[in-house]
A and B are shown apart, each in its own frame.
Chain A
Amino acid sequence: MIRRFGVLLAIASIIGMAACGGGNGGSNNPPSAITNVAVSCSPGTVGSDGNAQCVATVTGTGNFNSGVTWSTSAGSITSSGTLTAPTVNGSSSSGGGGNSNVEQLTVDAGPEPQTFISTNVAYTTVTVCVPGSTTQCQTIDHIMVDTGSTGLRLLSGVLNGTTATVTATSVQDATQSGTAAVTVTLLPVSSFSECLVFLDGYIWGPVAAADVTFPNATAETASNIPVQLILPASGLPTVPSSCSSQNPSGGNGNEGGMSDSDAVATFGANGILGVGLFQQDCGPGCTSQNSAPPQVYYSCDASGCNPAFASLSQQLPNPVSAFATDNNGIQIQLPAVPNGGSPTVSGFLVFGIGTQSNNGLGSAHVYPVPDSGSNAGDMLTTFNGQQYQAFVDSGSNGLFFLDSSVSGVPATCTGNLTSWYCPSPSPANLMASNQGQDTSGPVGTPVPANFSIESAQTLFNGSNTAFSTLGGPLSNTFDWGLSFFYGRSMFTAIENMSTPGGTGPYFAF
């Protein structure tokens, strides 16, 4: 190793002398040599035909020449290191322009590659296009439908794309070069990145822009809206520690996986469609009305990513809010699932509440929820005479409530299933009641809700993926997850939007 270094030194000093016309001849200067070329490009993820600025750091000894020549494996690059990414091809789409407000839902074992079996996740399909384009589009299946969040987020590795490997070669010593990889993705990428913290993990990645349509719900288009790319841990920009430390699992909680190869299995979907109660994912809490930006949106440049204010229009919107019609909420319709579960079920994601002949509230009861404060988005559930904060969340895959220390609640499973309930005898038939609330207290009358919990040990024994009786422990809160949706019409009304059942936000079922 040392010998090789010595050889390089000698060669470099000869070239250096030639280049400098004999150098300065000072006997106390070490010989000129290049020891390393390092390259970095910002942003590390760009859209089709997008730009990144690359810089080379050349280290050496003596009076060396720090000049480099640039080349790239894809796209083009200028002599000053400005990369223009190649065009990423998509398919053509005629999305929007129809008259249906209904999209398909399926609960099944999940997307390929199936190294796992999905449990109680409702998937739909979306089409994203480069804003304004009808040819650079991609239709992506197995997008999780989540009433507990807001915004469309897609795994970066699922989107069409390529990698441009940028190389800087020393002018002085052509054997010395450095490379950097730039991820090129279909959708145009902004300088904002977002840290979105879920209960059990976080996602990190740049904010991109897309026209969003649906293969069957042809009446609906969300034009040029911010969407997020979910990066694996290996993606760029690197996740800031201030993002991962908001998550109890820390760096292990990255739901984008370690690399593109395990991203789908880690996330359990190709993306997530947040169609919850709110118009934006963060809302006023991320705007400059606060003294300091929270660690949600980050402004990223070559020196790194720092928390930044994001105006409401810069934040990820509820795609439904961005529709021209049927934009006040959604309804999830899934068929009843018998005890023991079903292999798969199919249902509907219906856009709009009371805006068409097919999306009225019918006999559903409206449960208003506060739009702000510490109980934002929560209704109330009473169990055994005790009242708890509660919410309806299609992105939770069971009924999560209380724990075995509370009388009448099933025992938690043993072994590797301690996060689930295993009642004996099974099923345990339980009753609670639900009620709306505002910031000053309960609203409306309590409505009974019967539910059953079966032993997870038994439920998981086959290959069923849809369970109406799956539950697990959680103190102090009731989380009415997807198990509760089967056999009901479940409505989520968006904040500040008018509906026949009143102004959102509310749940109705």
Chain B
Amino acid sequence: MIQGTFAILAVLMPLSCWATLGDNAASVRTNQAQMKGTLRSVDHHAYVLHEITMSTGAKVREYVSPAGTVFAVAWEGQFAPDFQQLLGPYYQQVQQAIAQQKAAQQSGEQPQVRQRRGPVYVETSGIVFQQSGHLRSFHGQAYIPQLVPQGVPASDIR
């Protein structure tokens, strides 16, 4: 019920808000963002999905749990988003996870460096991050596994 009210309010608000992964829903509202767009909010019961569409057509989707936490974000558009802003405190974790993955490819048991070129896929106990696409079309998702509400499949985050 509280969720439903929240979603309706959000629709009526002139929107220039940008959630940060791991933030609570209340802070989402006050988190002034650089992007200006229109918001569509849908209550999926297990979570509320807020989709912000910018004038360029780019989209950011925020997944808010019943506990009021942004547990996942997804993005699509011609350009990659500002990850520092979108991932907030998790930006460094993602950077570290990617750096570790690259370092692992360059050492360890395999005799030669075998670098993966292409879409990014990192999965640690603390964060899952992936980005796919090509020039003119980027899309990706990031979520915090411990914060994903029970019964929500990872494939919902897209």
Query: Which residues of the partner chain A approach B101 to less than 8 Å between Cβ atoms?
Result: 418-419
Chain B, residue nearest A150 (CB): B135
- Contact mask B71-107 → A, CB, 8 Å, 1/0? 0000011111111110000010011001101001111
Give the residues from 106 to 146 in chain B that come closer than 8 angstroms, CB to CB, to chain A. 106-121, 123, 129-139, 141
**Which of these, B58, B78, B107, B132, contacts A476 with CB under 8 Å?**
B132
The verdict on B8 contacting chain A, using a C-beta distance below 8 Å, is no
CB distance from A127 to the nearest CB of B (A): 24
The distance in angstroms between the C-alpha atoms of A418 and B82, with both chains bound, is 26
Give the residues from 24 to 71 in chain B that come closer than 8 angstroms, CB to CB, to chain A. 55-59
Q: Are B134 and A149 in contact (CB under 8 A)?
A: yes
The verdict on A496 contacting chain B, using a C-beta distance below 8 Å, is no
Q: Are A249 and B115 in contact (CB under 8 A)?
A: no
A245 and B84 contact, Cβ closer than 8 Å, known pairs A374-B57, A377-B137, A416-B107: yes
Total inter-chain residue pairs, C-beta < 8 Å: 184
A474 and B121 contact, Cβ closer than 8 Å, known pairs A249-B98, A416-B108: yes
Q: Are B138 and A285 in contact (CB under 8 A)?
A: no
Q: Are B80 and A247 in contact (CB under 8 A)?
A: yes
Q: Are A474 and B132 in contact (CB under 8 A)?
A: yes
Chain A, residue nearest B116 (CB): A419
A182-190, A347-355, A395-403: which lies at the interface: A395-403
The distance in angstroms between the C-alpha atoms of A97 and B137, with both chains bound, is 36
The distance in angstroms between the C-alpha atoms of A450 and B130, with both chains bound, is 25
Q: Are B118 and A199 in contact (CB under 8 A)?
A: yes
Give the residues from 435 to 473 in chain A that come closer than 8 angstroms, CB to CB, to chain B. 456, 460-461, 463, 472-473
Q: Are B139 and A477 in contact (CB under 8 A)?
A: yes
The distance in angstroms between the C-alpha atoms of A270 and B119, with both chains bound, is 21
For A, the interface residue count at a CB cutoff of 8 angstroms equals 70
Chain A, residue nearest B78 (CB): A285
**Which of these, A150, A274, A294, contacts B79 with CB under 8 Å?**
A294
The verdict on B155 contacting chain A, using a C-beta distance below 8 Å, is yes
A2-10, A71-79, A116-124, A133-141: which lies at the interface: A116-124
Q: Are A419 and B105 in contact (CB under 8 A)?
A: yes
Q: Are B120 and A242 in contact (CB under 8 A)?
A: no
The verdict on B154 contacting chain A, using a C-beta distance below 8 Å, is yes
Chain A, residue nearest B53 (CB): A374
The verdict on A290 contacting chain B, using a C-beta distance below 8 Å, is yes
The verdict on A360 contacting chain B, using a C-beta distance below 8 Å, is no
Main secondary structure of the interface of A (DSSP, over half): loop
The verdict on A295 contacting chain B, using a C-beta distance below 8 Å, is yes
Q: Are B134 and A276 in contact (CB under 8 A)?
A: yes
A248 and B131 contact, Cβ closer than 8 Å, known pairs A373-B57, A415-B108, A416-B108: yes
The verdict on A291 contacting chain B, using a C-beta distance below 8 Å, is yes
**Which of these, B112, B120, B141, contacts A463 with CB under 8 Å?**
B112
A249 and B121 contact, Cβ closer than 8 Å, known pairs A116-B112, A149-B134, A268-B115: no
A475 and B84 contact, Cβ closer than 8 Å, known pairs A199-B119, A290-B56, A374-B137: no
Query: Which residues of the partner chain B approach A375 to less than 8 Å between Cβ atoms?
Result: 137
A246 and B134 contact, Cβ closer than 8 Å, known pairs A416-B109, A473-B121: no
CB distance from A474 to the nearest CB of B (A): 5
Q: Are B110 and A252 in contact (CB under 8 A)?
A: no
B interface residue count range (under 10 / 10 to 19 / 20 to 34 / 35 or more) = 35 or more
The verdict on A200 contacting chain B, using a C-beta distance below 8 Å, is yes
The distance in angstroms between the C-alpha atoms of A419 and B113, with both chains bound, is 13
**Which of these, A247, A378, A415, A477, contacts B119 with CB under 8 Å?**
A477
Q: Are B119 and A396 in contact (CB under 8 A)?
A: yes
CB distance from A123 to the nearest CB of B (A): 13
Q: Are A460 and B130 in contact (CB under 8 A)?
A: no
**Which of these, A376, A418, A475, A476, contacts B136 with CB under 8 Å?**
A376
The verdict on A24 contacting chain B, using a C-beta distance below 8 Å, is no
Q: Are A281 and B135 in contact (CB under 8 A)?
A: yes
**Which of these, B83, B118, B158, contacts A246 with CB under 8 Å?**
B83
The distance in angstroms between the C-alpha atoms of A283 and B119, with both chains bound, is 22
Q: Are B155 and A121 in contact (CB under 8 A)?
A: no
Chain A, residue nearest B117 (CB): A397
Query: Which residues of the partner chain B approach A199 to less than 8 Å between Cβ atoms?
Result: 118-120, 131-134, 138
The distance in angstroms between the C-alpha atoms of A117 and B79, with both chains bound, is 31
Q: Are A393 and B118 in contact (CB under 8 A)?
A: yes
The distance in angstroms between the C-alpha atoms of A445 and B79, with both chains bound, is 31
Query: Which residues of the partner chain A approach B134 to less than 8 Å between Cβ atoms?
Result: 148-149, 199, 276, 377, 391, 393
The distance in angstroms between the C-alpha atoms of A281 and B136, with both chains bound, is 8
**Which of these, A250, A295, A398, contacts B91 with CB under 8 Å?**
A250
Query: Which residues of the partner chain B approach A11 to less than 8 Å between Cβ atoms?
Result: none
The distance in angstroms between the C-alpha atoms of A131 and B130, with both chains bound, is 41
Q: Are B131 and A400 in contact (CB under 8 A)?
A: no
Query: Which residues of the partner chain A approach B95 to less than 8 Å between Cβ atoms?
Result: 248-250, 252
Binding site for A on B (CB under 8 A): 55-59, 76-85, 91, 94-95, 98-99, 101, 104-121, 123, 129-139, 141, 154-155, 158
Interchain residue pairs A-B with the least CB separation, the first 3? A396-B118, A416-B108, A416-B104
Q: A199-B120, A248-B129 are in contact. List 9 more A-B contacts (CB 8 A).
A: A200-B131, A250-B84, A252-B95, A285-B56, A294-B56, A374-B139, A400-B119, A475-B121, A481-B118
A-B contact pairs, 23 of them (CB 8 A): A116-B106, A120-B117, A149-B134, A150-B135, A199-B133, A199-B138, A200-B119, A246-B83, A248-B129, A250-B83, A274-B135, A282-B78, A283-B136, A285-B78, A290-B56, A374-B137, A375-B137, A396-B117, A400-B132, A403-B121, A416-B107, A416-B110, A419-B105
Binding site for B on A (CB under 8 A): 115-117, 119-121, 148-150, 196-197, 199-200, 242, 245-250, 252-253, 268, 274, 276-278, 281-283, 285, 290-291, 294-296, 373-378, 389, 391, 393, 395-398, 400, 403, 405, 415-420, 456, 460-461, 463, 472-477, 479, 481
